[in-house]
Structure 1
Amino acid sequence: MTLPQGRDFRPHWPLTSGHIQTMLSSSGVRRKLLPRRAYKVLEGAETVMVDGGEGIRLTGAYTAQTSLPAARGLAVLFHGWEGSVDSTYVLQTGSRLLEDGWNIFRLNFRDHGESHALNEALFHSCRIDEVVHALGDIAHRWPAPAMALAGFSLGGNFALRAALQAPQQGIPLAYTLAVCPIIDPGEGLFSLEESAPWFYQAYFMNKWRHSLRAKQAAFPQREYFELQELKQNLRGLTEALVLRHTDFGSLQAYLDGYSVAGHALAAMQIPATILTARDDPVIPVDAFEKLQLPRNIELDIATYGGHCGFIRGWDMTSFCDDYIAARFNAIASGAA
Structure 2
Amino acid sequence: MWSTIGQLGEFGLIERVTARFPGTDDVILGPGDDAAIVSAPDGRVVATTDVLVETRHFRREWSSAEDVGRKAAAQNIADIAAMGARPTALLVGFAAPPDVPVSWAEELAEGLRAECAFAGAAVVGGDTVSAGEITLAITALGDLEGRSAVRRDGALPGDVVAVAGSLGLSSAGFALLEAGVHGAADAGSDEADPGWLRCLGEHRRPRPPYADGPGAARLGARAMLDVSDGLVQDLGHVAQAGTVVIDLDSAAFVPEPELSEAVVLLHELGRTGRGALEHMLFGGEDHALAAAFPPEAELPPQWRVIGTVSAPGADGPRVAVDGASVSARGWEHFR
Fold conserved (TM > 0.5)?
Answer: no
Higher relative strand content: 2
Indicate the structure (1 or 2) with the bigger Cα radius of gyration: 2
Which TM-score band applies after superposition, normalised by the shorter structure?
Answer: under 0.3
Q: Determine which structure has the larger helix proportion and give its number.
A: 1
Task: Give the TM-score normalised by structure 2.
Answer: 0.25
